[in-house]
Amino acid sequence: MKQSGYKTIFHIYLLFFLAFLGTVILAGVLVFMTITIRTPDGTTARSDWPKTFTEDFAEHIIFIDSRPQVDQSGIELLQDNGAGIQILDSSGCEVFGHQKPEQTEEGYTSVELLQLSQRGKLENSDAAAFIGTVSSDGKDYAYILYLPVDVSKLTMYVNGDRFYGGKNIILPILSVLFLLILLSGVLYGLWTTKAVKRLMASIQEISIRSYLPVEDYSVFQDVYDSLNVLDTEIRTSDQLRLQTEKMREEWIANITHDLKTPLSPIKGYAEVLQEDGEKSEKRCKRYAAVILKNAAYMENLINDLKLTYQLENGMFPVDRQERDVVRFLKELVIDILNTPEYEARVVHFENKEPVISYSFDSTLLTRAFRNLIINAFVHGKENTEVTLEIKREGTSLQIHVSDNGEGMTAEEMEHLFDRYYRGTNTEQETEGTGLGLAIAKSIVELHGGSIAASSIPGMGTTFQIDFPSC
């Protein structure tokens, strides 16, 4: 947005700068035309060229028998420039003349010479008249050069034609220039208003999700780029919200089903116990076992929900202590295999170092690795085996949990660590809550580690856990 503001300001100042530059160039051209003159031989010279020419011509005036004459080079110079000369004695009478205009007089008084010098030209003639003086034998002579150029005598000598013509065109040109600037400002204002309206329409389209990306290369290019990014982010956020809402609805449906599932046998067997008149001890124990099993499932489900909430909001205290990770995992595997449900299962253990120390919360990591190992058993076949590999890589601790089960599809891998997601490639109904792997991931990250998974359908799945600063 700041760049667009800078570009707009730049365009406005550029507009006025160009107008100012045009004015300066016009003024420069007019000044150049005013202070220059085209000489009779076709060259361009300063407007004071007649005066300089007159002063320098004195060297071409010679005296023969005390009479002033013009030498041959002077005559040629006069002919080349179409100029004429008149030499006067001290009384103002003509003593020599060559190519002089018809309007000249045979003699001039001092007043007439002064007026001629001030005017710079003859009356009723466009020829310039400039006066110079020479001396010989103590006598002073004045000579008048008549040049076929139109100059005016001011504080400086200027080209008369261009000076008077310039005065007649400079005001119209300045007026036109002012109108062009005014028109340019109006057009730029209209264009800016149209562009702002277009921006407002684009913002409104984004709010109603009907915006189409715009490629704009004007001063508002970065604004449209930002709007395009904003629209993409909003659409992505909308899609994520819909996915989250869908997952939440599915989770609520799953949790509702999972809570109703154990409640049904609990309620049913409780009613049987209430109505059974015989109430044999064997039957009571069997019914009680079913009730306890389902109650335990409900308790685990509620605990998973609570733990998920605590981990997600950073409310679970972490009690990290320096322990032997190898021994910890071996004891965890033994506990799992001592459970009647998994006593027939096989867990392989691989470690190059007998002792690896690491600071961790044993309660949390027990929950994390128990979820990973049991998840492999639950979602695998009866002959599914699990392998735990522990090793150091530099300063990090790496633990791989692999199985030779059925593996997972790309869709299941995409949502593997999502909360409330339960995917299975088996036809049996799972008893999990869909929170096990999400909980494991949160626990690993709570210890500053990372967890990733790779799977090949039909060959198995591997979880790679990496803890830094071992």
Of residues 366, 355, 10, the one with CA closest to residue 188? 10
Burial pattern 66-102, b for ≥16 Cβ within 10 A else e, equals: eebbbeeebeebbeebebbbbbbbeebebebbbebbe
- Please say if the pLDDT value at position 225 is more than 80: yes
Largest CA distance in the chain: 174
Q: What angle do CA 447, 453, 457 make, to 5 degrees?
A: 160
pLDDT at 462 over 90: yes
Q: Are 454 and 462 in contact (CB under 8 A)?
A: yes
Q: Tens digit of pLDDT for each residue in 253-270?
A: 766 766 677 777 777 777
* Cβ-count burial 155-173 (b if 16+ within 10 Å, e if not): eebbbbbbbeebeeeeeee
pLDDT band at 156 (very low <50, low <70, confident <90, very high): low
- The predicted model scores a pTM of 0.44
390 phi and psi, to 5 degrees? -120, 130
pLDDT at 112: 81
CA–CA distances in Å: residue 283 to residues 262, 275, 279, 292, 396: 19, 13, 7, 14, 55
DSSP annotation string for 342-370: GTT-EEEEEESSS--EEEE-HHHHHHHHH
Task: Please tell me the CATH code under which domain 320-467 is placed.
Answer: 3.30.565.10
Residue 429 confidence class, pLDDT cut points 50, 70, 90 = very low
Cα 285 to Cα 263, 280, 281, 348: the distances in Å are: 18, 9, 6, 37
Between 247 and 382, where is the model more confident? 382
Out of 59-63, 132-136, 170-174, least confident range = 170-174
Single out the residue of 468, 321, 465 nearest to residue 395, CA to CA.
468
Amino acid, res. 38: R
Alpha carbons within 13 angstroms on the beta-carbon side of residue 175 total 5
* 172-191 pLDDT per residue, tens: 777 787 788 778 777 877 88
Domain boundaries, the chain: 1-47+156-211, 63-154, 221-311, 320-467
pLDDT, tens digit, 9 for 90 and up, residues 304-319: 777 777 776 666 777 8
**To the nearest whole percent, how much of the chain has pLDDT over 90?**
15
Which CATH number fits the domain 221-311, given the four candidates 1.10.10.10, 3.30.70.20, 1.10.1780.10, 1.10.287.130? 1.10.287.130
Contact predicate 149/37, CB 8 Å:
yes
31 is written with which tokens? 């000044």
Do 62 and 71 touch, CB atoms closer than 8 A? yes
Provide the pLDDT for residue 300: 72
Share of the chain above pLDDT 70, in %: 83
DSSP state of 114: H
Position 241 confidence tier, pLDDT thresholds 50, 70, 90: confident
Instruction: Name the packing angle between helices 2-35 and 160-207 (round to 10°).
Output: 170
Mean pLDDT of the 155-162 span: 60
Residue 279 pLDDT > 70, yes or no? no
Confidence grade of residue 217 (pLDDT, cut at 50, 70, 90): low
SS3 393: strand
* Residue-level pLDDT at 39: 76
- State the chain's mean pLDDT as an integer: 80
pLDDT for residue 5 is more than 60: no
Q: Which residue has the higher pLDDT, 324 or 32?
A: 324
H-type helices in 313-435, by residue range? Answer: 325-337, 362-379, 410-414
The span from the CA of 46 to the CA of 369, in Å, is 100
Integer Cα distance of 148 and 2 in angstroms: 63
Which residue shows structure tokens 């792997």? 437
Residues in the chain, overall count? 470
